[in-house]
């Protein structure tokens, strides 16, 4: 592959034991990587992986889950470690932990605490093109508008419908907030994993649309090695949103099936961000896949 950037893309990864070795084999260290914070891992594991990735050269965006942080002292310790490693961007979520480990019940509280600690961090917040299975549309909208003045970007939940994604971005542009939107799309992963994750995340409607591309057929064959072709979805989204001033690029949910990524990254359409968006994302370069 040439050194010319093909798309603005960010990979979401899980902080597994073999992540550093796997990722560096398929994705250039100039790239942007978002590191999840799962309830059974906790924020410490996310921060450790993020620090290591940052030291390798990646633009690293750790997730911090409000409901997994035990107290202010732990939060400050995590933020200090990230600052020392040169990490300047965070993604804040409430998290899937049922019982909060400390005082932070939702991402808005954590956002306020992070900004009180340091205004130097840029912060991404979550967007839901198809809503949330446990939160009403009104509450999602209210929460988004409350957090937006303190945020620098929106990252959408994984979605399989270009129509839903396009409608969401256009709604954000019309009603505010005017934040760059990273469009969350699945990577080329096992269809079984996509179905199980989709059900948990509440993206059932777009999963039904995705079945038209062969997802259902693969499941009926019981072929766990068959992967969903997200390239078609990416091309459709690009066709809908290319040139939109709020379209930041693609946030690819990899589920750590990293060996399948080079083909997807090679096929990403070229994106030319507008001057406004380029200024907002000056710290986030355009990244090629690693050969």
Structural domain for 123, as ranges: 9-280
Rounded Cα distance between 270 and 218, Å, is: 30
What is the C-alpha to C-alpha distance for residues 278 and 161, in angstroms, rounded to an integer? 26
Least-confidence region, from 69-78, 191-200, 216-225, 231-240: 216-225
Which helix (H) or strand (E) segment is 114 a member of?
A: helix 107-117
More confidently predicted of 44 and 283: 44
On whether residue 291 sits in a domain, the answer given is no
CA–CA–CA angle 277, 7, 147 (5° rounding): 40
CA 251 to chain centre: 5
User: What pLDDT is stored for residue 134 in this prediction?
Assistant: 73
Maximum mean pLDDT: which of 64-78, 136-150, 258-272? 64-78
Longest dimension (CA), the chain: 53
Q: Quote the pLDDT of residue 213.
A: 45
Domain count within the chain: 1
Distance of alpha carbon 170 from its chain centroid, rounded?
19
* Residue 3 in domain: no
**Averaged pLDDT for residues 231-242:** 89
The pLDDT value recorded for residue 195 is 63
Residue 34 resides in a domain: yes
Residue 228, pLDDT score: 65
Question: Average pLDDT, whole number, for the chain?
Answer: 81
**55 assigned to some structural domain:** yes
**CA atoms of 260 and 264, how far apart (whole Å):** 7
Pairing of strands 9-13, 32-35: parallel
Alpha-carbon distance of 213 to 191, in angstroms, equals: 11
Q: Is residue 209 part of a domain?
A: yes
Residue 52: inside a domain: yes
Residue 219 lies in a domain: yes
Range scoring the smallest mean pLDDT among 26-30, 61-65, 142-146, 227-231: 227-231
CA distance 280 to 249: 13
Cβ count near 270 (within 10 Å): 12
pLDDT in tens, 125-154: 999 888 777 778 788 888 899 999 999 999
- Domain membership flag for residue 41: yes
Q: Read off the CATH number of the domain in which 27 is found.
A: 3.20.20.220
């Amino acid at each position: 592959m040439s050194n010319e950037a093909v798309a603005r893309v960010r990979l979401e990864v899980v902080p597994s034991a073999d992540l550093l070795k796997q990722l560096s084999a398929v994705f250039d260290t100039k790239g942007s990587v978002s590191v999840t914070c799962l309830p059974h891992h906790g924020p410490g594991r996310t921060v450790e992986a993020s620090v290591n990735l940052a030291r390798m050269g990646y633009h690293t965006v750790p997730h911090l889950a409000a409901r997994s942080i035990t107290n202010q002292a732990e939060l400050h310790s995590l933020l200090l470690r990230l600052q020392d490693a040169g990490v300047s961007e965070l993604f804040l979520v409430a998290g899937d932990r049922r019982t909060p480990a400390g005082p932070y019940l939702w991402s808005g509280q954590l956002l306020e605490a992070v900004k009180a600690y340091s205004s130097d961090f840029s912060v991404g917040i979550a967007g839901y093109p198809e809503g949330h299975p446990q939160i009403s549309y009104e509450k999602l909208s209210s929460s988004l508008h409350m957090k937006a003045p303190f945020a620098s970007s929106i990252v959408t939940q994984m979605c399989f419908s270009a129509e839903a994604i396009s409608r969401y971005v256009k709604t954000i542009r019309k009603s505010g907030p005017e934040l760059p939107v990273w469009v969350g799309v699945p990577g080329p992963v096992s269809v079984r994993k996509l179905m199980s994750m989709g059900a948990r995340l509440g993206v059932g409607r777009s999963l039904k649309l995705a079945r038209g591309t062969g997802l259902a057929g693969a499941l009926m064959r019981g072929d766990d090695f068959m992967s969903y072709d997200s390239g078609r979805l990416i091309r459709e989204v690009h066709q809908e949103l290319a040139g939109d001033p709020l379209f930041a690029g693609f946030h690819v949910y990899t589920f750590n099936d990293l060996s399948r990524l080079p083909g997807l990254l090679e096929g990403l359409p070229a994106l030319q961000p507008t001057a406004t968006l380029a200024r907002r994302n000056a710290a986030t370069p355009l990244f090629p896949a690693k050969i």
